[in-house]
């Protein structure tokens, strides 16, 4: 819940018309970091990308989108 709230706030602030590539890249980096952090729970790698995809289906992260159109 906390990560989603922060992501939505970031997307609301930076989600203007010509910034879509940057906020999409930010969302991708957050997703990679979440995988890395969840994989630190033990000495061995306990989470695969398939397992992470199942977790994401159950607890989806907010998707990047444009909130403000500066041209219209």
Q: H or E element: which one contains 26?
A: helix 20-38
Nearest CA among 22, 36, 2 for reference residue 64: 22
Which tens digit of pLDDT belongs to each residue from 28-61? 999 999 999 988 877 777 889 999 999 999 999 9
Q: What is the pTM of this model?
A: 0.79
Is residue 69 scored above 90 in pLDDT?
no
Report CA 32 to chain centroid distance, whole Å. Answer: 8
Contact (Cβ atoms closer than 8 angstroms) between residue 26 and residue 64:
yes
């Amino acid at each position: 819940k906390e990560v989603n709230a922060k992501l939505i706030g970031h997307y609301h602030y930076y989600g203007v018309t010509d910034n879509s590539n940057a906020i999409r890249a930010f969302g991708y980096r957050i997703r990679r970091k979440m995988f890395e952090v969840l994989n630190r729970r033990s000495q061995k790698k306990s989470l695969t990308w398939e397992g992470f995809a199942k977790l994401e289906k159950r607890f989806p992260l907010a998707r990047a989108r444009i909130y403000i159109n500066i041209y219209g």
